[in-house]
Structure 1
């Protein structure tokens, strides 16, 4: 498996590449995440990026409070994403990030697990964004393989928590990206 910090950085880079393709009239287009249009999806990822430095430094959700509630994109969603991604990447490479304890809403997890969850979310949402705006949907195969390996063990927990859609059927012989997206409830 790839160093999870590198995988996360590369997933954010891929998301950023697709984000630069969003045209002015596309921000309210629906995405495969039924609760979010393009702007909502980008807002979600920026919010996650903003939380990363806080949680990897040991702060709790209660300590951070509602600092990242609502629209965190402002007038320039691309700039907001780039700034948040830079801060998140710095946080995951900070000394002790992998062994820190992240105090998440559902409990405490090791920093490495939290970073893995951030990576997986960024990777899957890269496809969501590409699908919504007509961008390139092919994800980095090394990142797909790393995510698939981790998600095979994490799937039950995600299913029980109700944070992924129903698993989709895939044709026999489907490639790894198609199988991964289907496991996350996407219809590639």
Structure 2
């Protein structure tokens, strides 16, 4: 995510955000490895994205992460990550990009470094938190599309929900997510989190 949001002051997650990010990407990657040959064109809960486009989106974010966490600007990176990044081996493309993104998040000083996004500068920790949340929610999207178990890690769900409570309105005003979905009063934490992101679980 190179940035379509306004900068907002939000609370931090309750666990090590680098580990949360790694675990979220691992979970998404597990689903990527379950994609069958005929499923790459299957529609996902994300408007206008099929499975291939969704995986390409995550690869795009993964490739941006090392560059931005190293202090480069969007202008300096340019359009090198535009277009199809999966080529003829989508699984390898994701695995390689995820490994490099996690390494960048764990690099010394990455969370304290200023990250230059298109809408402004943010601390590295805030940027990695946004990446974590995106990977977590898209894990559910991919699970729905390919028909595999859609239960997310409860600890990651709680961490994301605590953070997103302070970021939800900015995401919605920026048009990144849809309207808050209706949920029963006794809905479980995952269903409530997905509803906040505009998903109907």
TM-score, reference length from structure 2:
0.93
Alignment of 1:95 onto 2:108 = yes
CA distance in 1, matches of 2:16, 2:192: 23
CA distance in 2, matches of 1:159, 1:25: 33
Residue number in structure 2 paired with 1:181: 194
Superposition deviation, residue 111 in structure 1: 0.2
SS at match of 1:153: coil
Residue number in structure 2 paired with 1:136: 149
Q: Please, what is the CA RMSD of the aligned residues?
A: 0.5
Superposition deviation, residue 49 in structure 1: 0.2
Which structure 2 segments of 5+ residues have no match? Answer: 1-13
CA distance in 2, matches of 1:184, 1:52: 22
SS at match of 1:103: strand
Residue number in structure 1 paired with 2:37: 24
CA distance in 1, matches of 2:116, 2:126: 12
CA distance in 2, matches of 1:15, 1:66: 25
Superposition deviation, residue 2 in structure 1: 1.1
CA distance in 1, matches of 2:39, 2:47: 16
Residue number in structure 1 paired with 2:7: none
The residue correspondences of 1:71-86 to structure 2 (distance < 5 A) are 71-86=84-99
Superposition deviation, residue 166 in structure 1: 1.1
Residue number in structure 2 paired with 1:51: 64
For the 8 Å contact 1:18–1:136, the answer to whether it is kept is no
For the 8 Å contact 1:8–1:115, the answer to whether it is kept is yes
CA distance in 1, matches of 2:50, 2:157: 24
Aligned residues: 188
**Deviation sequence 1:92-137 (CA, Å, 0-9, x none):** 0000101011111111110000000000000000000000000110
Following TM superposition, where does structure 1 have runs of at least 4 consecutive aligned residues deviating by more than 3 angstroms?
Answer: none
Superposition deviation, residue 59 in structure 1: 0.3
TM-score, reference length from structure 1:
0.99
Higher relative contact order (CA 8 A, sep 6+): 2
